[in-house]
Amino acid sequence: MAITLGPNQYGKAEVRLVTVNRSGPVHAIKDLTVSTSLRGDLAATHLTGDNAGVLATDTQKNTVYAFAKQAPVGEIEDFALRLARHFVHGNITGARILIDEHGWDRITVDGKPHDHSFSRAGDEKRTTAVTIDGDRAWVVSGLRDLVVLKSTGSEFHGFPRDEYTTLAETDDRILATAVTARWRYQGSEVDWGKSFTEIRRIMLEKFATLHSYSLQQTLYAMGEAVLRARPEVAEIRLSLPNRHHFLVDLSPFGLENDNEVFYAADRPYGLIEGTVQRDDAEDPGLAWS
């Protein structure tokens, strides 16, 4: 029986980076969590402990900070591409950089945005995953924890029933979810900021305006709308946990609940996931791995 070393990678996980642009009286901040992973000919360190080809994870961390000083971070996709390309040389043939961007809003004082004071924008994060393999590059961007809710315009009925089914059918319910979306770009010559803003807007508008008969239908409609409007996107993957809102039974108190009083259940929850893609999209290669 032969035993061999399989696929492997190593890097520095969750490097916290905050930068302040002080080029004028109005400051701008970037708040990122950066993870690096390097791939290549790393057999020696695994099999014999020879570290001659191992760029220390501490060095990878320091590189993140140095790059943030040497040039503006800019869009997270550009920053990830710069880092990944820097790391690929010698026995390192591939790199994968993951970045989460944490949003901040300017605090309003006397009706005007303050020059250098901010409040956390919420749990939503902008994300990117950049993979370099030799001369090829793949960019998968997205967002996470975008919480949305519509108080009507959603139904759920017509599903099969058996001896274990207790869920009542409804033609008017609250539909709420925390959107995680990741989309694969075709190429790397993209206006990243504009593309992200438009994709987010398209998904929100479709969620708001679609009369939904299932969260699955909503997922597909959101993805389809993005692909129809944004030719730079090859495919989009969505994960939508159903944040259930159940009607409270007020009959013991002699009260009627006309879809007005609910309790929000955080678990268990339905988890709806799916991919919407172009049938003529280029091969994904290593984009997702």
Active site (annotated) includes residue 125: no
Cβ contacts of 3 within 8 Å, gap of 6 or more: none
Q: Which of 61, 102, 206, 244 is catalytic?
A: 244
Active site (annotated) includes residue 12: yes
Place of tokens 């009260």: 255
Q: Cis bond leading into 268, ω under 30°? A: yes
Count CB neighbours of 73 within 10 A. Answer: 21
Q: Answer whether 100's CB lies under 8 Å from 33's CB.
A: yes
In Å, the largest CA–CA distance within the chain is 77
For 251, which DSSP code?
Answer: G
Q: Are strands 28-40 and 15-21 parallel, antiparallel or unpaired?
A: antiparallel
Q: Which of 19, 33, 45, 57 is catalytic?
A: 57
* Contacts of the segment 60-63: beta carbons below 8 A, 24+ positions apart: 60/11, 60/12, 60/36, 60/87, 61/12, 61/15, 61/36, 63/36, 63/87
For 252, which DSSP code?
Answer: G
Active site (annotated) includes residue 180: no
C-alpha to C-alpha distance for 258 and 118, rounded to whole angstroms: 41
Residues designated catalytic:
12, 57, 244
